[in-house]
Chains A and B, each alone.
Chain A
Amino acid sequence: MSAPARNPRWLALYAAVVFAFLYLPIVVLIVYSFNGGGVGGFPPHDFTINWYRMLLGDGSMWDSVLNSLMVACAAMAISLLLGIPAALALDRASFPGKTAFRRLVLLPLILPGIITGLSLLMLFVGMGLHLSLLTITLGHGTALISVATTDIFAGLQKLDRAQEEASLDLGANYWQTFWHITLPNLRLPIIGAALLIFTLSMDEIAVSFFLIGRDNTLPLEIWSRLRRGMTPEINAISAVIFVFSLVGIVLWYRLRTRAQGQPELGSELLETAAAATEL
């Protein structure tokens, strides 16, 4: 590393300010989730955990959490089951419409979510399908295939091709090679993609907005509460969501550090983001 420049002091300060800006709302949210006096008002007073107690007893909130979990798991499955073959196809096979396919798959990532949402709404209406958790799941799965495809594609690129060739040379066919050699090497990108898809699905609003039936997902439940008015109970559930996100990212970090020694700076988000602008 080169000799330190003279400016890092103000640069470090600037960086600290940006970090503060990024975390300020979350901190406020958590602090006020314990505020007896409600959502706003300074300074906070009347420390209480009542809002969390309310949250615990809030049946419809937990229903929506359950719904979101089911949808997220199903979306994860769909995205991976389709994303893995898609990544393989893009990496290895040539077929007509390959470029078109690649761009089409990436569209939901960069287009405003509502466009994908309402397009799917038109499809389901045309198919005569009733809006429900199923339609939401189909929507999430479709929108998030690109996440799986991109991350696994990146993982395939880093794969040592010679290993697969050695497997074929030793007498295994393509299926066996895929199962015994390729797939185990893709473990990390798959898990990373799965975590990302799960998180994105749990938070998804734009697509879900149009495809919601009677059962709410968690974000949409929070959304409908918001329209009725703001209570610190929402702060409480937000704080809970934050803690879960934190746990998720720590887990992801541990996973990669353990497996690779040094987590790569190209995270799934980065690779997905990079692919999205390449279209």
Chain B
Amino acid sequence: MFSRAYKAAITLPPLLWVAVFLLVPYALLLCYSFWTVSPAQTIIHHWNLGNYRELLRVHVYFETLLRSMWIAARVMLFALLLGYPLAYYLSFHAGARKDLLYQLVIIPLWVSYLVRAYAWKTILGSDGVLNTLLQYVHLTRHPVEFLLYSPFAVVLTLTHIYTPFAFLPIYASLEHIPRNLVEASHDLGASPLQTFWRVILPLSIPGVLAGATFAFVLSLGDFLAPLLLGGPSGIMISNIVVSLFGAAYNWPLGAAISLCMLLLVVGLLFLSERLEKKWSYS
């Protein structure tokens, strides 16, 4: 049905590019994870499971992964707590200003991540805006230490960054709920609260799942916020990978960790997709 030249022209270039620049690199990642590094800082192409054994043996990797997941879980929770009511307000109560407010939520997404993380750094430091403000109004006498260089700062910053990401799919799913369902619910005697609980919330679950997945997965793999604001107690798994590719030169180990992260993320996405399908009614 298609001219073969046309079909070749539209499939081959992307396929080739993706094969060279995505498939091969990820395959290399897989390979590296089975190799080791010699004391002389060269890569030994000797296939073994040494890296994986190391991951299981040395506690710090697993602990850091757990801490990263715990940080990601908190970010996910807060992003949902902030994003859902916002999306609900926009979808059901904003009326004529819905569009403008939507743009206002999107704008921070377009502003550089680095800029926003840096902003929090200036706010949370011991000489930062928040601390000096608190001292200025005599609420505290000394700088509050845990604000910066702590998991708290990382969670706060990542929540700030990823709340709009959580907002987007929730908003989309809320918008998809036909308004006459809300009217029908009222018509049948349900108050607005009952309507929310019995109709709106169940129908918005796919959006919530998608938003939660975004917030969790993107936070899990984040390396910038912990680097800028995390301090020693806020290191996340990506920072370990970055250092293994930098000063702590051990590409194979870094590749092994990366592969584990990749599998974890892909697994989470599949799970999320399954759950979304189960809860989808359109």
Contact = CB atoms under 8 A, between A and B. Distances in A.
A206 B183 CA distance: 47
A34 interface: no
B122 A11 contact: no
B123 interface: yes
A245 B129 contact: no
A113 interface: yes
Interface in A1-49: 1-8, 11-12, 14-15, 18-19, 21-26, 28-29, 32, 39-43
Contacts, number: 278
Contacts of B182: 2
B123 A28 contact: yes
A115 B160 contact: no
B127 A41 contact: yes
Contacts of A120: 21, 25
Interface string A88-110: 11001101010001001101101
Contact of A25 (B7, B21, B103, B160): B160
B210 A28 contact: no
A205 B113 contact: yes
Given A28-B119, A270-B168, A110 B113 contact: no
Interface of B: 2-3, 6-7, 9-11, 13-15, 17-18, 21-26, 28-29, 32, 82-83, 85-86, 88-90, 93, 95, 99, 101-116, 118-123, 125, 127-133, 135-136, 160, 163-165, 168-169, 171-172, 175, 179, 182-183, 186, 192-193, 210, 213-214, 217-218, 220-224, 228, 238, 241-242, 245, 251, 254-255, 258, 261-262, 265-266, 269-270, 272-273, 276
Interface of A: 1-8, 11-12, 14-15, 18-19, 21-26, 28-29, 32, 39-43, 81-83, 85-86, 88-89, 92-93, 95, 97, 101, 104-105, 107-108, 110-116, 118-123, 126, 138, 142, 145, 149, 173-175, 178, 199, 202-203, 205-206, 209-210, 219, 222-223, 226, 230, 234-235, 238, 241-242, 245-246, 248-249, 253, 263, 265-267, 269-270, 273-274, 276-279
